[in-house]
Amino acid sequence: MIGIVDYGMGNLFSVSKALERLNAPYFISQYKDGLLEADALLVPGVGSFRDAMEALNRTGLTKTIRDFAATGKPVLGICLGMQLLFEESTENGLTKGLSLLPGKVERFKGKTDQGESYKVPHMGWNKLRFTGDSPLLSGIEEDYVYFVHSYYVKAADTEVLVAVGDYYDVEVPAIVGSGNIFGMQFHPEKSSEMGMGLLRNFTELAAERKAKL
């Protein structure tokens, strides 16, 4: 059973509908006791990093997510949820994140080092390049996924990079992972066959965890 963290800033409808299409059992909760009993945790997110962390801190879910991660069970952050996994963000002032992965979240500059201007947010379909190994990539081929974001992760350790996408002169971390912690900067539920395949692989990690127990 996958627990979806409800802290008031996630696109719960689209994520839950994607899990239903995969016939993956899930529940949505804002309560510690229920979430800690899940086989895997999904942290969605839309909006501001600072607002999200304030909501998680206010509800006590910051500790819940960290405690869950410490059990070794799979955790997946999507879009803003992926950014929250890292140490800090400069959005609306420096804000501390969940610190489950090393790195910092910064805004696209809107201009390349050569002076070429580009649009922010980064919105649309970009093709991924695989740069690391991950159970999320099982049976998956490089393809296009759908992004909507103005901030991106600058990972402090390239070992956490699983897949990247290029946006002008920025190499955008698109899939990250270390141990039981995973993140996708794009929206897998809106990314056609590749996105659903990646989500399916995460649901299988949850099923494997349940089988072991």
Catalytic site positions: 79, 187, 189
- Whether the Cβ atoms of residue 201 and residue 163 lie closer than 8 Å to each other: no
For the record, the structure tokens of 156 come out as: 């402090």
Please report, for residues 37, 41, 118, 200, the alpha-carbon distance to residue 72 in angstroms, rounded to integers and kept in the order given: 13, 11, 40, 19
Distance CA 43, CA 84 (A): 9
Which alpha helices (DSSP H) does the chain contain, by range? 12-21, 32-36, 49-59, 61-70, 80-84, 192-212
Amino acid at 175: I
- Whether the Cβ atoms of residue 180 and residue 173 lie closer than 8 Å to each other: no
Extract the runs of DSSP E, i.e. beta strands, from the chain: 2-5, 26-29, 40-43, 75-78, 88-89, 95-96, 103-107, 122-127, 129-130, 144-149, 151-155, 161-167, 170-178, 181-184
N- to C-terminal Cα separation, the chain: 12
Distance CA 64, CA 207 (A): 21
